[in-house]
Amino acid sequence: MSKKRRMFDIELPEEDTVETFSAEKVSPPAKAKAEARRGPMATAISENADSLRDREALVARIRAENDALAHEHVRLKQQGLIVDLIPLDQIETRKLTRDRHTGVDEELEELVSSIRDVGLSNPIRVEQRADGRYELIQGFRRIQAFTQLLAETGDAEAYGKIPAGIMARGAELDVLYRRMVDENLVRKDISLAEMAQLAIEYAADPMTDVTDPDKAVAKLYKSASYSKRSYIRSFIPVVKGLGETLQFIHEVPRALGLALAAKIDAIPGFVAAVQAELEGWGNRTVEDELAVLRRFAGDETAPKTASKRPDRPAAEAKAKTSFQIARPEGAAKCVAGAGRLEIRLDRDFSTIDRRKLEAAVRGLLDQIS
């Protein structure tokens, strides 16, 4: 039995209507063919590599931004513009000799009142030490004001810490002194005697490269005028000769200081005569002391003293014992006389707890009684 073949009619398009394509256009793109050949695993690996490259680029940008911020932080810190709240008990005042007298500061109460009312408008400046504590560079009176407010109120949250610009370690000592001095030069209340005292102590500091107080004036007070530097130098012999005798040396006006300096230079024994006049006169006032100095300086119009001097034998009035004790923070100078015992040390004793200080003084007096 034979199979019949089935025939189909196929209609072909006319030759001129057939659309032809080149081999390039028909072929899929190379990337698509490569992905088709790689399969899903290879595609995933490729996508992961692209993601890693993007992440590395992001990390590089973040690192560059952090480096820029770090450099800016260092620059601001070197200028003391990084401000933080520093606990008072973490601040030392030993590195620099202060250009402030140690007597009663009548204007401190004004600063205390201002801080109590409106807060501290100008942060202090400190240098961070290797042990994590801080050395005061600028702001001794502000520290005193906060310490007084803390003692009066007991409010550690408000006055236990003080705003401070933190300077980077490593600044030269003379640069730190200049920062302190230049800030204080704009104050009207700092006296020529205080500036002369700082020059004397700066020259005596073994950590500085100056041993002559006159040269110390040129270095410390470079920003001051020539005439002002000359006046400071004139007060140096007055501070050297009478600094331990006078209770109100910071009150000595310029003209009187210049006259005293001339007398000290011209008259042997002048300093001893002034010391003998004032020794043991514990109840004298500023006016009393200045009247004595004016009289010794040759001012015949000087007023008579108002306070009464104690009547004591001359030998007793001149009696005085002085000595020094080596301490880790420097030499402690002790002066003992009739009616007084002084301990001078480069330390802010007002930062010591009152009860602890009182117990120490009581123990000293008990031992020498």
Instruction: Answer whether residue 189 shows pLDDT above 70.
Output: no
Nearest Cα to 141, choosing from 173, 108, 168? 108
Instruction: Answer whether residue 70 shows pLDDT above 50.
Output: yes
Q: pLDDT tens-digit profile of 87-125?
A: 999 998 776 665 455 555 666 787 888 888 888 878 888
Q: Which pLDDT belongs to residue 105? A: 60
Q: Point out the least confidently predicted range of 56-65, 74-83, 147-156.
A: 74-83
Q: Which pLDDT belongs to residue 9? A: 57
Nearest Cα to 138, choosing from 163, 108, 110, 172? 163
Rounded CA gap, 162 and 213, in Å? 34
Across the range 34-60, mean pLDDT stands at: 68
Token couple for 367: 């031992």
Q: How far is CA 190 from CA 75, 107, 128, 216, in A?
A: 31, 11, 27, 18
Q: Which pLDDT belongs to residue 186? A: 52
Answer with the residue of higher pLDDT: 96 or 81. Answer: 96
Q: Which pLDDT belongs to residue 270? A: 92
Q: What is the pTM of this model?
A: 0.48
Token couple for 219: 């270095």
Rg (CA), the chain: 40
Instruction: Answer whether residue 315 shows pLDDT above 50.
Output: no
Q: Which pLDDT belongs to residue 314? A: 45
Q: How far is CA 245 from CA 43, 190, 194, in A?
A: 93, 20, 15
Q: Which pLDDT belongs to residue 128? A: 82
Answer with the residue of higher pLDDT: 351 or 186. Answer: 351
Rounded CA gap, 86 and 365, in Å? 36
Answer with the residue of higher pLDDT: 97 or 364. Answer: 364
Residue 294 pLDDT grade (very low, low, confident, very high; cuts 50, 70, 90): very high
Nearest Cα to 123, choosing from 133, 137, 109, 113? 137
Answer with the residue of higher pLDDT: 155 or 103. Answer: 155
Q: Which pLDDT belongs to residue 166? A: 82
Rounded CA gap, 315 and 276, in Å? 10
Q: Which pLDDT belongs to residue 335? A: 77
Q: Which pLDDT belongs to residue 69? A: 64
User: How far from chain centre, in Å, is Cα 363?
Assistant: 34
- The mean pLDDT value of the chain amounts to 76
Q: Point out the least confidently predicted range of 103-112, 122-131, 210-219.
A: 103-112
Across the range 127-143, mean pLDDT stands at: 84
